[in-house]
Amino acid sequence: MKMFCLSFKLNGKSVQLSVQPAKLLVDLLREDLRLTGTKIGCREGECGACTVLVDGQPVNSCLIPAVKVHGREVLTIEGLEREDGVLDIIQESFISEGAIQCGFCTGGMILNAKALLDRRQEPDESEIRHALSGVLCRCTGYRKIIQAVKTASRIRKEGRGNKG
């Protein structure tokens, strides 16, 4: 089978590897690159557990071939943590607000929240709900997740966040 020479930026580092043209981004991340923070729920674009950011925009990685990120920048949940182990303020807020139970949806929630907060410093609740609407949580009832995003927004605005 003809392989594609894929080159892209992943969590701030350049990556080059050969991939089958039909390989999905989620499988490349989890199987080839061992980034298992990106979860697989439905493989149909319904649950959002597989969300990653591509050039800052949330994408369901179960729906796009890996070759589509050639030359682009991908951020997975692993990329939010600093190299010294300090968590991003959105991650910290999810912990402090008790917004994580089983954690299966958490990466998708946090990356969608990051995309929102990077374009809107102080989103209102309806904007937060809309931004997270593509991610299903079966555990928390969403109230604490919304509160976590509000908390992260406030801390980032005050300039106390670890990033951005």
Binding site for ligand FES (CB under 6 A): 40-43, 45-50, 60, 62, 100-106, 137-140
As measured in angstroms, the least distance from the Cβ of 24 to ligand FES is 9
As measured in angstroms, the least distance from the Cβ of 12 to ligand FES is 23
As measured in angstroms, the least distance from the Cβ of 16 to ligand FES is 25
Amino acid at residue number 66: A
CB atoms within 10 A of CB 116: 20
> At which residue do the structure tokens 């954690």 appear?
103
Measured from the CB atom, is 10 or 62 closer to ligand FES?
Answer: 62
Measured from the CB atom, is 103 or 164 closer to ligand FES?
Answer: 103
57 Cβ contact partners less than 8 Å away, ≥ 6 residues apart: 115
| E strand segments, the chain | 4-10, 13-19, 51-54, 57-60, 73-75
Measured from the CB atom, is 99 or 116 closer to ligand FES?
Answer: 99
Question: Per the structure block, which two tokens stand in for 79?
Answer: 């990329």
Give the DSSP letter of residue 31: I
As measured in angstroms, the least distance from the Cβ of 61 to ligand FES is 7
